Structure 1
Amino acid sequence: MMYALIVCNGSIIDYSYHRKFFDEADFIVCADGGALHLQKLGIKPDVLLGDFDSIEERYLEYYREQKVTILKYPTEKNMTDTELAVDTAIERGYKDIVIIGGTGTRLDHTLSNIFLLRQMLDRGVRGRIVNEYNEIFLIDDCTEVKAEEGYYLTLLPLTSKVEGITTKGLYYPLKGETIEMGSTRGVSNCFVSQEAQISITSGVLMVIKTRD
């Protein structure tokens, strides 16, 4: 399935790892300073947006010359550049969005981007945040996650509680159980088959496929 790819200004360490997301993306939105990552990758976005407090004028001029759609917003605004990028992708009709560069040293930005996944879920959009070590997404029904060597699977409630959690293909199975927000019960489970199956009956569950 083709998706919209959002490039943010957070941490991207291994550029070769992230290149595959560009190969499969149908639409690329760059949020402000994420342009620095695109410069290193030699990739042109479809849209560049933000208040441009994290990008040099020479890069803006370069993308203008490349006929990239540029959407400039005021510095004093009520949304982060990432949220503006998500809205732009949804307005273009995309129901599957991948965010890279969405995590990093700024914990406030990292968390706000993770919480944006909830907004996407509520709007019927599948959102994912990925980096070299993690893939994060939310569910309110069911999903399947492919196993990879060295990866664990963590399940964390994003609502006060998540009920009816049932899993298959994991070392520690759950059978219609309830986990409350703040519990660490779902952290670092291991795959025991080629894919894990997860379903819930109520609430919103954060699924994190992660490695050391």
Structure 2
Amino acid sequence: MATNGGYNMHKSCGHSCNVIKKWQWDITKMTGHNGNIDKYAVLVLNRPISQRTNFIKNFWNNAVVKVTVDGGTTRWDTFVSKLPEDDKENILLPDLITGDFDSITEEILQKYKKKGCKIIHTPDQNHTDFTKALMELNNYCSGHKLNIDHAVAIAQASGRIDQILGNVQTLYLAKQKHLLNFTTNVYVLSDDAMSWLLFPGDHIIFVPEETRKHEKSWCSLIPMGEICESVTTTGLKWNLDNASLKFGEVVSTSNTFDGSEKVTIKCSNTILWSMKVPSICS
């Protein structure tokens, strides 16, 4: 079985042939907690950067591709400006700056242009800047013959609810419209939480030790855009057994872990999974 969001497709044939997708998810291979880091891209969206300074520095520098998105460039510039001088010298420049540029000053844009950063204006208003940034990331990776396992957007799940839901929409589009290579998984990092979509099939999510032991750890399974007819889990405090997830009925928010090293989830429809990763935030 492929790991880190990859999957194997197992076929069981009788009168018909069904394809069962199986995923394994281990976010420690992005956050660096196990010393074995996968290839990933990081995108800074136009929201406050609330994570620990040391985490962000390492997370940014270890990324294969580094992207700032419109006003996210200003957020990044502010973050860098507050670093000690030695850190400023060691922090890497964005590989790519994209957006319709309605929320970035000309001064900041020219500053990074003079530093040699690639600037791509994406004025199309039919998509959000996040969605367009993934398209440009894909072009960048194709042009540089890069394969990445993950794309992580640093964003806040607070503020305008339409923008929050727009970010979830981009998670859907990434897979359904093939914005990136089909093996690349897209995540949203907000404060100390990591969120991503679980598509129909069987999932194993490895739970970091820090998450298992934290007294205020939480996780959630949210149906988005459709009813999830059936969900079965293990490893949660409140497990689901062939349950239906539907707004107006049952939605599994504020769940938590039972101390197991992994959570298993079998879902019939796509759901949004979120989990706490305590050490990311100060």
User: Which residue of 1 is the match for residue 32 of structure 2?
Assistant: none
Q: 1:153 to 1:46 in 2, by over 3 A?
A: same
Q: 1:182 to 1:116 in 2, by over 3 A?
A: farther
Matched, 1:190 2:256: yes
Does the residue aligned with 2:191 lie in a helix, a strand or coil?
coil
User: Which residue of 1 is the match for residue 128 of structure 2?
Assistant: 80
Aligned mates of 1:89, 1:121 — CA distance in 2 = 14
- Picking from 41, 60, 73, the partner of 1:4 is 41
1:119-157 C-alpha deviation (Å, 9 max, x unpaired): 123333411111223221111131304151121111111
The count of aligned residue pairs is: 211
What root-mean-square deviation, in Å, do the aligned CA atoms of Structure 1 and Structure 2 show?
2.3
Letter in 2 for 1:68: C
Matched, 1:100 2:154: yes
Task: Decide whether the 8 Å contact of 1:162 with 1:200 is kept in 2.
Answer: no
User: Which residue of 2 is the match for residue 158 of structure 1?
Assistant: 224
User: Which residue of 2 is the match for residue 143 of structure 1?
Assistant: 204
Q: 1:137 to 1:182 in 2, by over 3 A?
A: farther
Matched, 1:132 2:198: no
Does the residue aligned with 1:88 lie in a helix, a strand or coil?
helix
Aligned mates of 1:136, 1:107 — CA distance in 2 = 16
Q: CA deviation at 1:99?
A: 0.5
Task: Decide whether the 8 Å contact of 1:152 with 1:211 is kept in 2.
Answer: no
Identity percentage over the alignment? 24
Matched, 1:32 2:70: yes
Matched, 1:112 2:149: no
Unmatched 5+ stretches in structure 1? none
TM-score normalized with structure 1 length: 0.87
More displaced stretch, 24-33 vs 6-15? 6-15
Q: Which has the larger radius of gyration?
A: 2
Q: CA deviation at 1:68?
A: 0.5
Letter in 1 for 2:269: G
Task: Decide whether the 8 Å contact of 1:99 with 1:128 is kept in 2.
Answer: yes
Q: CA deviation at 1:24?
A: 3.1
Aligned mates of 1:23, 1:183 — CA distance in 2 = 44
More displaced stretch, 63-72 vs 39-48? 39-48
Aligned mates of 2:277, 2:60 — CA distance in 1 = 22
